[in-house]
Chain A
Amino acid sequence: MRKAFQAELQKIKYRKLWLLIIGISIFEFLWHGMTMLRADQTYLLTGYHYLLYSLPLMNALVMPLVLAVLASRIWDIEYKGNTYKLLYTLQSKKSIYYSKAFFGSLCITAFCFLQIITVIVCGRLFHFSDQLPAKHLFYLFITTLVVCLANYYFQQLLSFQYHNQFIALSIGLAGSFVGLFSAFLPGAVKRFIPWSYYTLLSTSGMDWNNETQSMSFYYTSPDLPALLTVSCLTILLLIGSKSIFLRKEV
């Protein structure tokens, strides 16, 4: 397994996947940084609240496509080189699957860490008045990780199942927009849309006061049934996509 993982690292070496993860993190940092620079002082009073509300929305819009690209870059190298037949003679199908799935999971974990660092750096840079919400940052890390993993395992299923990566990428793009759409839907409906779990599992809410034209934020407790649902979905997708991969003819 270690050798299989090392082989994956060598294959990915020049594909610049690190650029994708770091680039998205930098983009999110710049986006929120620009918001803070243009905002008035009241935003800075509840800066952490705002970030914990905004980041899941941003993740719902951007991450499905990013994860589709990540899965595509990790899995399509075998199609491009037409090396599946050769690989199956050199190592077990299971080790190929697990090494690629593990590598993708590692990239996602790195992204989740970078996101937490983004929040902390923004807080220090813009001198937020509210206290650093360590507990809610931990929830953000866990919920983003679990939802991204579910998304990634689904996308990798599409990437290895279809030679033409356009299908996987189109579904990723549609998932981005469905994720954005789902932010406007009631909670009961959101539970049936996998891409909506980014916003469903958010522990920061927002109230809009129409008279004063101002926002106020509040913390909520984590939606444990939803977290359990998406965790089960993640495990099902991991096991299901593995069994489909093992049965796949090349």
Chain B
Amino acid sequence: MLLRCIKSENSKLKYSYIWLAFFIIPILPAAIGTFNYLGNIEILTNGWYSLWTQHTLFYADFFHGPLIAAYCSYLWRLEHLNGNWNRIMTVPVRRSCIFISKFASVFGMAFLTQLWVGLLFYLSGRLAGLKSPMPSEIIVWLLLGGIGSIAVIGLQLLLSMVIRSFSIPVIIALLGQIAGIYLSSSGRGLCYPYSVLSIGMNSNAMHGLSGASLLAYLTAVCLHAVLFSGIAILLLRVRDVRK
């Protein structure tokens, strides 16, 4: 049942405009980061790691949240239109399957986004004149970032489900992402879903996650995802649909 739901969610993404956002939006932080790196090359002397800090400074702290919010809003959009909420609540599918299938679909897109960001990073590095091989830690940080996006996906799917507007959850994500900069800098990033990605992607490139910090990170991500998904599934079960 869950696999069928995931398949039906994925079919909504075929030929949709969301792929334009998928391709174009990550190019912006890559361009900004590379320009910033080239403009400050006398200070940023650590090659690939310095370029990584510039890319993730913009991607993880500004772009990622709104992009995930756009994916989530797009997936819930069909339910918000034309009385489709009534239809979806009367189909013989478990409420948890409805939510988890959307979660899986957005996670797939977020993971592909991480791969695209990684490719853009590699191309930017080559264009910026970095001749050495790209460090393998970058791939680990990209993977950890992909896992970290689970925290934001849970929250944004919940927001997009209850707020019947495409754009308001995207604005909440942008403002939340900006506010997350404060929490990250004060050492409380793991408590806040929008800051988790920048921790996972090691945006300050000082030291990667390992041992206890990696465990804390994974635990925080799981807790965020379970909390917001749990609230959303509970709302789907107990709350009546309003037209």
Contact = CB atoms under 8 A, between A and B. Distances in A.
B32 A184 contact: yes
A194 B74 CA distance: 27
Contacts of A61: 62, 174, 178
A6 B65 CA distance: 37
B178 A31 contact: yes
B25 interface: yes
Contacts of B31: 181
B166 A177 contact: no
B17 A167 contact: yes
A17 to B, nearest CB: 11
A110 interface: no
Interface stretch (A63-71, A95-103, A235-243): A63-71
Contacts of B36: 184
A60 to B, nearest CB: 12
Given A164-B17, A170-B17, A170-B70, A181 B32 contact: yes
Interface string B30-52: 01100110010000000000000
Contacts, number: 78
B18 interface: yes
Contact of A165 (B21, B167, B179): B167
Interface string B1-38: 00000000000000001101100110011011001100
B32 A65 contact: no
Interface string A63-84: 0011011001100000000000
Interface string B149-179: 0000000000000000111101100110011
A68 B174 CA distance: 13
Contact of A62 (B28, B32, B174): B174
B148 interface: no
A181 B171 contact: no
A169 B62 contact: no
A115 to B, nearest CB: 16
B28 A178 contact: yes
A180 interface: yes
B66 interface: yes
Interface in A160-203: 164-167, 169-170, 173-174, 176-178, 180-181, 184-185
A173 B166 contact: no
The interface centre, meaning the residue of A20, A173, A177, A185 with most chain B CB atoms within 10 A of its CB, is: A173
Contact of B167 (A69, A176, A185): A69
A158 to B, nearest CB: 13
A169 B171 CA distance: 10
A173 B32 contact: no
Interface string A26-64: 010001001000000000000000000000000001100
Given A173-B170, A177-B25, A166 B62 contact: no
B63 interface: yes
Contacts of A164: 17
A169 B25 contact: no
28 contacts: A31-B178, A34-B182, A61-B174, A65-B174, A68-B167, A69-B170, A69-B171, A72-B166, A165-B167, A166-B21, A169-B166, A170-B20, A173-B25, A173-B66, A173-B70, A174-B24, A174-B25, A174-B28, A176-B174, A177-B25, A177-B63, A178-B28, A180-B58, A180-B62, A181-B31, A184-B32, A184-B39, A185-B35
Interface of B: 17-18, 20-21, 24-25, 28-29, 31-32, 35-36, 39, 58, 62-63, 66, 70, 74, 77, 165-168, 170-171, 174-175, 178-179, 182
Given A65-B174, A169-B166, 20 more contacts: A20-B168, A20-B171, A62-B174, A69-B168, A72-B166, A166-B166, A170-B20, A170-B25, A173-B174, A174-B25, A174-B28, A176-B174, A177-B28, A177-B32, A177-B58, A180-B62, A181-B31, A184-B35, A184-B36, A185-B35
- 6 nearest A-B residue pairs (beta carbon): A69-B167, A181-B32, A177-B28, A169-B167, A170-B21, A166-B17
Interface of A: 20, 27, 31, 34, 61-62, 65-66, 68-69, 72-73, 164-167, 169-170, 173-174, 176-178, 180-181, 184-185
